[in-house]
Structure 1
């Protein structure tokens, strides 16, 4: 389940990685560029390159917002299948383009709808289905697959960029069919999220899924306890800042801006720091952010809250993708200081406001918020024993009503 569902991350990462390669391919530029550079070679204007890259994020924003109500009504499983199919339609639109740049942009917008929906549904499905002991690792696999998808796209682009024909970029696009196809077919053989089943009256199916996820009989105490927690809880409510900073400083003050070839050692150092940032992000902020937003919201509102959080992420992605060419033209590598500041602010926010959720059921996490547990002391918080966990929540909901 973890490997198959995490392919949603591979789809996103692969699509992100491939477009950066296309923008430098000779044949892609020859078909779609809108101007020539100083050397007389075809190139993209900032507006066109920003639109082609950034329109994916507009699609993901829309996909993230519509995924929640659709999955709440029809289930996580089949909405994931639908999202993978939408992404494949977007690839078809892109791969059939010949000379119209806006066809590629619109194809990325359509594909983005599928990617955005998957960015909500994959972490939610994994969080609602996985055993509490493995939930963090499984949701984090989504970010791992994003990174692997980017790497895979880079490798394929590298192998095809020398081909002076549309094959150079259409090959990479065509290979992108593989991941959503495997995911869509494989999801048909997986079970629905047990918490979605429970909320829709399929209690026996939910119990069976929980037992299968733990690898124990349905009568096992852990299964009985988790089903009871879900029942009591649901019924009442029926991407390493340091690397970004050394990178920005070296790029701003050490490299020869006019003739980079004069400072090869500085260029090599920047590549190293860029790789360290990617590795650091993929092991920290990247996976944990997806894990956190899939865990901390109440069951009844989880998909909607996840959709809003993810939509904000995609809106930010669009701004970065579209504005980066203009910003770097003005301040060059100093742009990295902006991201370093964001990482610092994020660290402060997490320390003071985010509770520790490792090893806790989704229902226990709900209780932590209900009781107002201090985030800095939440690691050592002990949930009320027996019926206390749910009775406190029932009291809270009654008072809230």
Structure 2
């Protein structure tokens, strides 16, 4: 009896063990140290977000105080994006030479100076000079934060962590909107100066945050500091095994022998300081690098040409055209835009590594197209109506909120996430800076032309135009952007190189289906035989 019981227990134990073999592996908890580093690095994006948000409301008071025309105003509002180009291009070389951490401090110092200059500006020229200095600082920050975060993150949560950059942009926009409302109670000549000058405060916290951040392990390897890189990787990886794999991949990318166990090694200057990068990136790119560059520039181009900066920077003008006349009501409606934008970017951070880049991006862009078409329709109806149409006003507000929500859930974080992970190690800093440069050029063009554009083709026509451009973007993303979810940074180059990958994949699937069908037919014939 005891023997039968023991035998039964043994069978039961084997059964449980067999069932356990089929249990899905438990997902490793997110690396808290890597999350902390990503949060601190992404604080730099508050600088960009705050400027976007604060100019949305401050422009009302700047125009009144300095007696600016609409043309002067739209140049003032949008010119910072063009100044960003200088910072983003310089940041690539600076970060390769001095390191990612020092570049973050440098960006904070420049923006701090620019914010103070804008706050103390006495006339239009002085204010434009402050915009120039702040724009260079924002360009540095916009380039370095996603690069640093991508290089510090384990592959399992890279999308989640890099998306913090966009989260803090939206947080900065919301802070800017709130700042507008708070300081709007001051006299006109003081209110806008406080709105702009208070932007110096986040840059102080950003500079101090660097004290708690390690240097990027990839930059350390590029400098030959293998021991330091290994320490950082051990703290930012999900496991010791992953840390070893990441170190081996980075050493291979930096042309360091895999069996090298020295603490410090000599790395050729062209690798450690990014020499010859522009030649490999633009003059003689491989097919893979060419595909990566097209994808990076394309995703940045279509993000900004969708008109997002027109909606965020000129939300008060849009609400005025919709029929809201009170400054307080326009500022409160703008705060609602910032709140919705921030909430949905938080949702996106948890979906990037679960759903993947492509599904989230395509769904987001589809929602943006629908919102833009509806917004254009509602504004056109209001413009051609002699009476106040409450339903059309409500539809405008809802579609503006719907547009920023669908933008934030995919298109918002995707350029910083996607571009920071697809470039090879040697080309990453400069490649990312090219993407940021494209982003800022288009952003500046859109923001500096919106007032003139809607006067030329009506405000409804402007949003119909944005909808058409965004539709072309959806097609571009569908055919040219492969999925990168879960891949290590060193595996990315294998995904690219074939611009017709979507068609080739379809053919492979069809061929595989035919082979499986033939195999099944042979099995059936064999069974009948």
TM-score range, shorter chain: 0.7 to 0.9
Matches within 5 A, 1:80-229: 80-98=104-122, 100-214=123-237, 216=239, 220-229=240-249
TM-score normalised according to structure 2 size: 0.65
1:114 is displaced (CA, Å) by: 0.8
Confirm or deny that 1:4 pairs with 2:30. Answer: no
Q: What CA deviation, in whole Å up to 9, does each residue of 1:75-130 have, x standing for no partner?
A: 111011101110111111111112x1121122111101111111111110011111
Q: What CA deviation, in whole Å up to 9, does each residue of 1:6-47 have, x standing for no partner?
A: 11221111101111211112xx344311xxxxxxxxxx3122
1:366 is displaced (CA, Å) by: 2.0
Contact 1:351 1:376 survives alignment (8 Å): no
RMSD (CA atoms): 2.2
Structure 2 counterpart of 1:386: none
Task: Output the CA distance in 2 between the equivalents of 1:131 and 1:69.
Answer: 25
Task: Output the CA distance in 1 between the equivalents of 2:503 and 2:382.
Answer: 42
1:257 is displaced (CA, Å) by: 4.9
Confirm or deny that 1:331 pairs with 2:457. Answer: yes
Confirm or deny that 1:231 pairs with 2:226. Answer: no
Task: Output the CA distance in 2 between the equivalents of 1:46 and 1:110.
Answer: 23
Contact 1:129 1:193 survives alignment (8 Å): yes
1:234 is displaced (CA, Å) by: 2.3
Which one is further off, 170-179 or 111-120?
170-179
1:52 is displaced (CA, Å) by: 0.7
Contact 1:256 1:262 survives alignment (8 Å): no
Confirm or deny that 1:356 pairs with 2:483. Answer: yes
Structure 2 counterpart of 1:65: 89
2:374 pairs, out of 227, 242, 246, with: 246
TM-score normalised according to structure 1 size: 0.85
Q: What CA deviation, in whole Å up to 9, does each residue of 1:279-328 have, x standing for no partner?
A: 11111111011111111111101111111111011111111121111111
1:307 pairs, out of 433, 438, 443, with: 433
Which one is further off, 346-355 or 76-85?
346-355
Confirm or deny that 1:277 pairs with 2:297. Answer: no
The size of the alignment, in residue pairs, is 362
Which one is further off, 53-62 or 236-245?
236-245
Structure 2 gap ranges (5+) = 1-36, 257-269, 272-302, 304-367, 509-529
Confirm or deny that 1:296 pairs with 2:422. Answer: yes
Confirm or deny that 1:32 pairs with 2:66. Answer: yes
Structure 1 counterpart of 2:278: none
Structure 2 counterpart of 1:15: 51
Contact 2:44 2:206 survives alignment (8 Å): yes
1:365 pairs, out of 492, 516, 519, with: 492
1:215 is displaced (CA, Å) by: 5.8
Contact 2:58 2:195 survives alignment (8 Å): no
Structure 2 counterpart of 1:393: none
Structure 2 counterpart of 1:341: 468
Against the structure 1 CA distance between its residues 186 and 116, is the aligned structure 2 distance closer, same or farther, given a 3 Å change threshold? same
Task: Output the CA distance in 2 between the equivalents of 1:5 and 1:89.
Answer: 20
Contact 2:121 2:193 survives alignment (8 Å): no
1:242 is displaced (CA, Å) by: 1.1
Structure 1 gap ranges (5+) = 34-43, 382-401
Structure 2 counterpart of 1:389: none
Contact 1:50 1:323 survives alignment (8 Å): yes
Against the structure 1 CA distance between its residues 209 and 95, is the aligned structure 2 distance closer, same or farther, given a 3 Å change threshold? same
Structure 1 counterpart SS, 2:163: helix
Task: Output the CA distance in 1 between the equivalents of 2:79 and 2:255.
Answer: 41
1:350 is displaced (CA, Å) by: 1.4
Structure 1 counterpart of 2:17: none
Task: Output the CA distance in 2 between the equivalents of 1:167 and 1:234.
Answer: 53
Task: Output the CA distance in 2 between the equivalents of 1:111 and 1:138.
Answer: 26
Against the structure 1 CA distance between its residues 265 and 196, is the aligned structure 2 distance closer, same or farther, given a 3 Å change threshold? same
Contact 2:373 2:467 survives alignment (8 Å): yes
Against the structure 1 CA distance between its residues 159 and 189, is the aligned structure 2 distance closer, same or farther, given a 3 Å change threshold? same
Against the structure 1 CA distance between its residues 132 and 32, is the aligned structure 2 distance closer, same or farther, given a 3 Å change threshold? same
Which one is further off, 238-247 or 105-114?
238-247
